[in-house]
Structure 1
Amino acid sequence: MHSLKEGDNVLIIANDATSTEDIKRKITKNVEITSTSVSRIQNIETKSFDFIICKDQLEAIISDSVLPKVLTLLKPGGIFAVADTISNIPKIEFELKVNGFVNIKQNDGVLYCSKPNYELGSSTKLNLKAKPAKAVWKIDDTIEDDMIDPDNLLDEDDLIKPDSSSLRVCATTGKRKACKDCSCGLAEELTGETKANTVNSENAKSSCGNCYLGDAFRCAACPYLGMPAFKPGEKVQLAGNLLKSDI
């Protein structure tokens, strides 16, 4: 028998005395033996069996919904052995699992399973004051060689100090836009910038004659490079905010 030990308490479930005696003869250990049938198993009150053996009664046990009773009669970790002819192993394993049995396996034609190592309805107290686990990752563990130097993210243009005149804003609007009655000189300054951004296409010379079509048709030295497309002979006017920083 599987895992039988001296002094174990064994329950045999069989349909007749002949089957019961046949199982007893195969038990070589000195154990306490109780026998019953499927119809009388509900009358057993003892809940301390180390081993329950079923002989040709598994189908009746499942059809009569006796598996929960079998589970309660076992000790935590106790074993239920099925010495039966089983044609549909997956179905039997499913029935055993849904009724709480674990560690299901076969050996020498006998199907074994066990009760979990705890009693049904048992509980345990949680230690909610346990020390928190140590941090898995810390900033101190970072290798300095792998860190990016922020100075390497800047180029020479980023280090040039901006002209203070380009940062000048109107005290009324709070923006680089002159108010209606501007008297601080910002209006004149913005007017000068607008004129500087105006190009007369009549005075500019083109070597290809297609500069008015846009940057796709302009060479690297084109005087209109970066300006919008225009009609031949018209003045090209840039919006006043094109040369302003978005910041």
Structure 2
Amino acid sequence: MTLHIPHPRITTLKGGIVLILWGAGSSPENVQQFSQEVSTHQCSRVVVEHFERLKLSGHAKSTFSVVLSNLLEPHTTTHSFDLLSEVVRIMTPCGIVCGKELSDLRISSNLKLAGFCNITFDSSNSIFSAQTPNFEVGTSSKLSFAKPSVWTLSDALVDDEIELINEDDLLDESDLIKPAAESLRVCGTTGKRKACKDCSCGLAEELGTAQSGKSTTTSAATSSCGSCYLGDAFRCASCPYLGMPAFKPGEKIQLSERQLNPDL
């Protein structure tokens, strides 16, 4: 029996731990003969395993440096992604796997997905070979940009080289004067202190009084917004006057027992 291992990768058998995978149809005599022939290449150890018992055997990761797969007739095994994933797990970094597979397209895709590299396929005898990466499966490495850089000003830079502006210097006397409450009232339609054409909120009368120089003694109904007397359109969701008609500013309003106790 001749070993079907691509040259020069047959030299990797020397001193390595070799796993031989065989499948259904192969006779025990052929398996034993093949194992003995592999041992003549000065291997450190040779392990024989059936495909169906590979996962059940529970081999530790990074155990085998060489895996010979499906090289015994009648070559009935197909190298699925799940099978190759287990093979790459138990192989050492830079390990070699050689095997026989009838479909070059399928084996190439499965080998890549499982994590193998340097894949070759000899179409003349349907023998493939591949190599594991030079790191163990599951190895992680922190990327150099994993921690973001934080831009800061050092104390020396702030004190010696940068002249900071005093915020108070940006204000003048007019900015410090508290505006009158009347000047803050604007029209809900125009968004400005200018009454709209069909003003009904009293802003037009207020502006007219201010222009004539006369003061008004009309006081708004007591509320947080000062517009409850104008009707529901000007009332907030929690206003106790909801549902009531508009009333005149300063008019005494009598609330019902239900309105005074909304939880009843």
- Relative to the length of structure 1, the TM-score reads 0.45
- Relative to the length of structure 2, the TM-score reads 0.42
